[in-house]
Amino acid sequence: MKLKLVFSYDGSAFLGSATQPHQRSVQDTLQKALAHLGIFSKILMASRTDKGVHATFAVACVECGEYFQDLNYLKKQLNKFAHPYIHIKYLKFMPFDFEVRYDVKSREYRYIFHHGKFNPFLSRYVYFYPQIDIKKANEILKYFIGEYDFKYFCKSGGDSKTTIRKMLKSYAYAYKNMTIFHFKANGFLRGQIRLSIASILKVLENKMSIEELKDQLGAKKQYNHILVPPNGLYLSRICY
């Protein structure tokens, strides 16, 4: 049977989501938790995140024996071994032809800026940054909506066959003393959101023009190579 896992994790505790040689990844930790319960099949992840990136809604899939029927009990036992940095939200049996990665219709991410006084206890989970002009930020974010070749908005080393992606939503909003950037697309390239946000900040700081941003979106020339820190980034939803 195919078992779908929906879970959250604290990315600051891992070297990334995908399996690592030293087994300090989200995937390796989940694999160990499942092995404690006699499930040894390889986990397949719907999305990969870099070191320091968090998730409030990640999805994985694993094959397991038919004797696992009580999913509430299984979830409780898995969380004993997955805690404190991973939390299984719920489990669900899926059809045999379910593809956890290739059946995805869209993915969503949020990036959190905190505008208050620096707090070391929050620094792993938000990016401390001066107040943002949300109206101007939203004017810039609108340029990202649509289908583009994002080759100048991705890190090297990815396994994608094409750098063309379709951005479905891209906007900013305020919450308490924070600004949150929200992105929804049919897929994302490695480092795409962090490079996009860094470019937007450059425009807001008058270090890069709108025309230069448009040229970068048009895959004409790259004006920004810098990424914002990973700690403010969250994988927030995967839709099938």
Q: Are strands 127-128 and 106-114 parallel, antiparallel or unpaired?
A: parallel
The active-site residue out of 50, 70, 97, 149 is: 50
If we measure between CA atoms, which residue out of 58, 21, 53, 56 comes closest to residue 43?
58
If we measure between CA atoms, which residue out of 159, 185, 181, 7 comes closest to residue 107?
185
Q: Are strands 44-45 and 127-128 parallel, antiparallel or unpaired?
A: unpaired
Determine how many CB atoms are found less than 10 A away from the CB of residue 31.
Answer: 19
If we measure between CA atoms, which residue out of 135, 121, 155, 132 comes closest to residue 227?
155
Q: Which amino acid is at 184?
A: K
Two structure tokens written together for 147: 């289908």
The CA distance from 170 to 182, in Å, is 6
Q: Residue 109, annotated ligand binder?
A: yes
Q: Are 22 and 15 in contact (CB under 8 A)?
A: yes
Q: Are 171 and 182 in contact (CB under 8 A)?
A: yes
If we measure between CA atoms, which residue out of 49, 70, 80, 101 comes closest to residue 231?
49
Active site (annotated) includes residue 159: no
Determine how many CB atoms are found less than 10 A away from the CB of residue 82.
Answer: 22
Annotated binding site for substrate: 109
Annotated binding site: 109
Residues taking part in catalysis: 50
